């Protein structure tokens, strides 16, 4: 095997030797040739030289071209995913080196390709065998992938490459997907279909902030929901059952109190007062439990309507006045007159009353309590601000939990049930909003409620 350079050099030497030998031969025979044939001999010599030159160049060029062609074909085959047979070794050193590096590249690519295929298969079978349904949608709203756990009632089998508007017949799911894809946002939804309850989570898959595709995960929550409904039903029935005897205990205690005409300082009077206080508390707990249970199962008749916040707060002031005056506190509301929002009036009143009542309970005498409302582009922001005892950082995270009280005694004395903030949180959530708290011990607390502006009923 020689290098290309030495092969060209060798061929040229060979060519030169032939030319020189033939030239010398002609020089020798020239004396024996008749003068009229000398020109012919010279022309023949020129033609002979040209033929030899052409032959030599052709041989060199064709040997290289042939090798290059087979290398080009091999790279095209690799490009098309066909790793086929290896390139044969060439007589030319450089081409032989090139062929062997292409061969090793082809081998390596083939191995990587096989590995990739194995990984792909593993991933595919993992996705296919997941308990949860998984589907992917392209940016032009076509199903890219669906596994076998997707309920047929949501996405029929073999819907790949078809548009979601053609294959998904469930209107709720279709609207949800279209809305979230149009706005490029993630979300989740619960869907009732043929006695099943499914939860669908929807995410956008991004690289460099560009959405590549959308992924959906479907989980069958029928059993879970049934269990939760049974539990809620139990809480509701238990609360109803408890309410009747407690109310009658309260009634009997009140009758006894009025009939016995006891001295204010007597032990009996103290007992009866304790019975009345505790029955009141039990009634409040039972009522709060019922409210939470209804809010959680969304059985509560959530009836949003266009509410003028200013008017709602003004009506509330009369209710608030009673307990505010008891502690010589002041209540001021700073609400712009034209804030309208889409809300359930009764529930929103309940939410604000709970916050104002807490502000009063956990503030000293003569302290001010403020309600301030504002709006931003997307939300109505309502703040209830007090200068009371505040809440330390360790407790702040847990105060929205049911029955969580920072100071049980204080809460009890203030008539608290430990359920008020849990109800507040649920009501805000039911309106599509949230509630947060900012507090400094011994300086005061601010509860902030964010309720979304309903685009159908814009703030005017």
Element (DSSP H or E) covering residue 217? strand 210-220
| Residue 445 binds ligand ADP, judged by CB under 6 A | yes
Residues 300-339 as x/- pattern, contact with ligand ADP by CB under 6 A: ----------------------------------------
**Residue 164 or 359 with smaller CB distance to ligand ADP:** 359
DSSP 8-state secondary structure symbol assigned to residue 402: T
For CA atoms 163, 166, 170, 174, give the dihedral sign: positive
**Residue 159 or 445 with smaller CB distance to ligand ADP:** 445
> Nearest approach, Cβ of 404 to ligand ADP (angstroms)?
6
> Nearest approach, Cβ of 249 to ligand ADP (angstroms)?
22
> Nearest approach, Cβ of 172 to ligand ADP (angstroms)?
34
**Residue 146 or 439 with smaller CB distance to ligand ADP:** 439
Residues 162-181 as x/- pattern, contact with ligand ADP by CB under 6 A: --------------------
| Residue 216 binds ligand ADP, judged by CB under 6 A | no
Among 286, 411, 426, 428, binds ligand ADP (CB under 6 A): 411
Pick the closest to residue 64 from 5, 109, 22, 17 (CA basis): 5
| Residue 344 binds ligand ADP, judged by CB under 6 A | no
Pick the closest to residue 359 from 335, 336, 391 (CA basis): 391
Among 106, 239, 375, 417, binds ligand ADP (CB under 6 A): 417
> Nearest approach, Cβ of 417 to ligand ADP (angstroms)?
5
> Nearest approach, Cβ of 445 to ligand ADP (angstroms)?
4
Among 418, 426, 430, 453, binds ligand ADP (CB under 6 A): 418
**Residue 121 or 401 with smaller CB distance to ligand ADP:** 401
**Residue 419 or 451 with smaller CB distance to ligand ADP:** 419
Among 133, 216, 304, 416, binds ligand ADP (CB under 6 A): 416
> Nearest approach, Cβ of 422 to ligand ADP (angstroms)?
6
Give yes or no for a contact between 414 and 362, defined as CB atoms under 8 angstroms apart.
Answer: yes
| Residue 104 CA to its chain's centroid (Å) | 43
For CA atoms 333, 337, 340, 345, give the dihedral sign: positive
> Nearest approach, Cβ of 416 to ligand ADP (angstroms)?
3
Q: What is the CA radius of gyration of the chain?
A: 45
62 φ/ψ angles, rounded to the nearest 5 degrees: -70, -35
Element (DSSP H or E) covering residue 384? strand 379-386
C-alpha pair distances (Å), 425 with each of 347, 351, 353, 355, 376? 11, 8, 13, 11, 21
Residues 378-407 as x/- pattern, contact with ligand ADP by CB under 6 A: --------x-xxxx-------x----xxxx
Give me 369's structure tokens. 């309590």
> Nearest approach, Cβ of 403 to ligand ADP (angstroms)?
8
> Nearest approach, Cβ of 298 to ligand ADP (angstroms)?
21
Give yes or no for a contact between 66 and 88, defined as CB atoms under 8 angstroms apart.
Answer: no
| Counts for the chain of helices (H) and strands (E), in that order | 12, 12
How many residues touch ligand ADP under the rule CB under 6 A: the total is 22
DSSP 8-state secondary structure symbol assigned to residue 88: P
Going by DSSP bridges, is the β-strand pair 330-334/368-375 parallel, antiparallel, or unpaired?
parallel
Residue pointed to by tokens 């509301």: 333
The Cα–Cα gap between 387 and 400 comes to 20
Element (DSSP H or E) covering residue 373? strand 368-375
> Nearest approach, Cβ of 160 to ligand ADP (angstroms)?
51
Pick the closest to residue 431 from 385, 381, 383 (CA basis): 381
| Residue 420 binds ligand ADP, judged by CB under 6 A | yes
**Residue 148 or 436 with smaller CB distance to ligand ADP:** 436
Binding site for ligand ADP (CB under 6 A): 358-359, 362, 386, 388-391, 399, 404-407, 411, 416-422, 445
């Amino acid at each position: 095997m020689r290098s290309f350079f030495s092969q060209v050099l060798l061929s040229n030497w060979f060519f030169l030797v032939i030319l020189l030998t033939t030239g010398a031969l002609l020089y020798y025979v020239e004396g024996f040739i008749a003068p009229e044939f000398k020109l012919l001999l010279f022309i023949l010599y020129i033609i002979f030289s040209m033929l030899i030159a052409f032959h030599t160049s052709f041989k060199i060029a064709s040997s290289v071209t042939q090798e290059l062609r087979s290398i080009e074909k091999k790279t095209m085959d690799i490009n098309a995913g066909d790793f086929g047979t290896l390139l044969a070794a060439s007589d030319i050193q450089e081409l032989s080196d090139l062929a062997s590096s292409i061969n090793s590249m082809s081998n390596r690519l083939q191995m990587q390709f096989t590995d990739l295929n194995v990984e792909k298969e593993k991933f595919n079978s993992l996705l296919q065998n997941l308990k949860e349904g998984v589907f992917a949608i392209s940016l032009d709203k076509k199903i890219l992938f669906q596994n076998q756990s997707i309920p047929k009632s949501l996405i029929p089998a073999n819907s790949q490459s078809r548009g979601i508007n053609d294959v998904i017949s469930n209107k709720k799911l279709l609207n949800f997907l279209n809305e979230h894809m149009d706005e490029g946002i993630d979300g989740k939804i619960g869907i009732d279909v043929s006695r099943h309850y499914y939860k669908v989570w929807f995410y956008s898959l991004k690289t460099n902030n560009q959405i590549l595709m959308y992924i959906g995960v479907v989980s069958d929550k029928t059993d879970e929901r049934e269990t939760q409904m049974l539990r809620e039903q139990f809480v509701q029935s238990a609360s109803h059952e408890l309410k009747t005897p407690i109310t009658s205990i309260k009634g009997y205690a009140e009758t006894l109190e009025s009939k016995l005409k006891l001295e204010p300082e007597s032990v009996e009077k103290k007992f009866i007062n304790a019975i009345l206080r505790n029955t009141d508390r039990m009634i409040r707990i039972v009522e709060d439990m019922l409210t939470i249970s209804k809010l959680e199962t969304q059985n509560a008749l959530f009836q949003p309507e266009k509410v003028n916040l200013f008017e709602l707060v003004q009506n509330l002031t009369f209710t608030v006045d009673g307990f505010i005056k008891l502690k010589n506190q002041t209540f001021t509301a700073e609400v712009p007159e034209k804030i309208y929002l889409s809300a359930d009036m009764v529930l929103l009143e309940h939410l604000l009353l709970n916050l104002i009542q807490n502000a009063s309970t956990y503030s000293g005498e003569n302290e001010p309590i403020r309600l301030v409302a504002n709006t931003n582009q997307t939300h109505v922001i309502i703040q209830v601000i007090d200068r009371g005892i505040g809440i330390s950082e360790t407790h702040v995270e847990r105060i929205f939990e049911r029955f969580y009280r920072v100071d049980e005694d204080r809460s009890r004395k203030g008539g608290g049930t430990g359920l008020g903030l849990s109800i507040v949180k649920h009501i805000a959530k039911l309106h599509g909003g949230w509630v947060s708290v900012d507090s400094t011990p011994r300086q005061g607390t601010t509860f902030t409620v964010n309720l979304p502006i309903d685009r159908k009923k814009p703030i005017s």
